[in-house]
Amino acid sequence: MTALSIQTVSNIVEELVSSKLLKPEAAQKIARGQPITPYSINPDGAYSIGLELGKDHAVGVLTDLSGRVRDRIERPVDRPTPEQAMPILADIVEALQTKVRFDRSRLLGVGIAMPGRYAAEGTTSLSPATLPGWQDFPVASELARLIRVPVRVENDATAAAIGERLHGVARGLQSFVYLFLGRGIGAGMFLDGHLYRRSHQNAGEIGHIVVVPNGRPCPCGKRGCLDRYVSLGSAYEHLGIEVSRKQPAEEVEALCLPLRSHFSIS
């Protein structure tokens, strides 16, 4: 499929084995010729930590090279400012490395998924409606300074789309749109097998497209944004659930239960 010669493939495989990213399995006898050696991804070859920060929770997962989640830590937060959030995130990273036994030199880095939208030069400027005090705060460099591991910031919808492409329902799909329903609505896109980001990674920021001219007012200053009609935030508002309550998602679930006989909800 790659049109590479057997010798080239064998050289590449040898290199990946010596850097412990691949491991040889037991040789298999075939009807004719030399036995063949299958190779597989070495799960212990590399690790990474993924972080997500929301309004009321911070989550960290440690994954190995096979994509398996080896441990997960969740801490409650309450609409944190960057100054409050950074030590909590650093603490989660430290705790994950202490809980799971692995070669720390194989930790490639930390990725953090955050709601958009993004400004220039790697700084995030979260929309004021999402989290307060994050305008232009340099998340990646500040977190990297605390944990001394490379940090990459990614739009939450884009991060979710990458996850589905690598390990989820979008495996094998060349082009798809992932709709991310959080407090707002966002999208991650793959076109012809490539992540589609455009300027400042904001290609999927569809929440503030006006869909109802002169519609409901939006914290962004416009009226009739998609976000005000299709998002958890607007669902809570429609159902009369206070956003400040602890478990709004569970309350929505309970309110939807009577509908199950009419619609198929899973």
- Positions in the binding site for Zn ion (CB under 5 A): 208, 218, 220, 222, 225
| Closer residue to Zn ion, CB minimum distance, 48 or 155 | 155
| Secondary structure (3-state) at 206 | coil
CA 189, CA 165: separation in Å to the nearest integer? 10
**What's the closest the beta carbon of residue 81 comes to Zn ion, in angstroms?**
23
- Give, rounded to a whole angstrom, the gap between the first and last alpha carbons of the chain: 39
**What's the closest the beta carbon of residue 184 comes to Zn ion, in angstroms?**
9
Tell me which amino acid residue 40 is: S
| Closer residue to Zn ion, CB minimum distance, 107 or 225 | 225
| Secondary structure (3-state) at 208 | coil
| Closer residue to Zn ion, CB minimum distance, 9 or 243 | 243
| Closer residue to Zn ion, CB minimum distance, 154 or 227 | 227
CA 162, CA 55: separation in Å to the nearest integer? 22
**What's the closest the beta carbon of residue 234 comes to Zn ion, in angstroms?**
11
**What's the closest the beta carbon of residue 205 comes to Zn ion, in angstroms?**
10
Query: Is beta strand 57-64 parallel, antiparallel or unpaired with respect to 69-76?
Result: antiparallel
**What's the closest the beta carbon of residue 218 comes to Zn ion, in angstroms?**
3
| Closer residue to Zn ion, CB minimum distance, 165 or 208 | 208
CA distances from 23 to 43, 70, 87, 250 (A): 9, 19, 37, 44
Structure tokens at 132: 């307060």
Peptide bond into 145 cis (omega under 30): no
CA 36 to the chain's CA centroid: 38
| Closer residue to Zn ion, CB minimum distance, 22 or 225 | 225
**What's the closest the beta carbon of residue 25 comes to Zn ion, in angstroms?**
53
CA 255 to the chain's CA centroid: 28
**What's the closest the beta carbon of residue 135 comes to Zn ion, in angstroms?**
16
CA 21, CA 23: separation in Å to the nearest integer? 7
CA distances from 37 to 21, 25, 27, 51 (A): 16, 6, 4, 37
| Closer residue to Zn ion, CB minimum distance, 64 or 205 | 205
DSSP structural state of residue 47: E
